[in-house]
Amino acid sequence: MRASEAGRLRCQAAARREVVATIVGTPADSARPADAIRIGYRPTEPGFRRRDTGAVVTAAAAVWFEPDGTAWAANPTPSMETMS
């Protein structure tokens, strides 16, 4: 998972959209497990975040992108910078 902080700030300053966050992996056809955690990215907040807790995540064992636009992660790795 990569999110450009400079790109996020640029989008906010210009009030326009551009791609500043990506998730890289290998496509697969496996079904999403029931215990997957919903994740997302918002230009108003730095980093990818768990939707249930708001914690920043930097990686995951697997990510599923659903037709409705949602993203779900298995075993999301929390950011060391935001862990308490």
Query: pLDDT tens digit string along 50-60?
Result: 999 999 999 99
The pLDDT value recorded for residue 68 is 94
Which pTM value belongs to this model?
A: 0.80
Mean pLDDT of 28-45: 92
Higher pLDDT, 43 or 73: 73
Q: How would residue 82 be classed by pLDDT, with cut points 50, 70 and 90?
A: low
According to the 3-state scheme, what is the secondary structure of 8-67? HHHHHHHCCCCCCEECCCCCCCCCCCCCCEEEEECCCCCCEEECCCCCEEEECCEEEECC
Round the average pLDDT of the chain to a whole number and report it.
Answer: 89
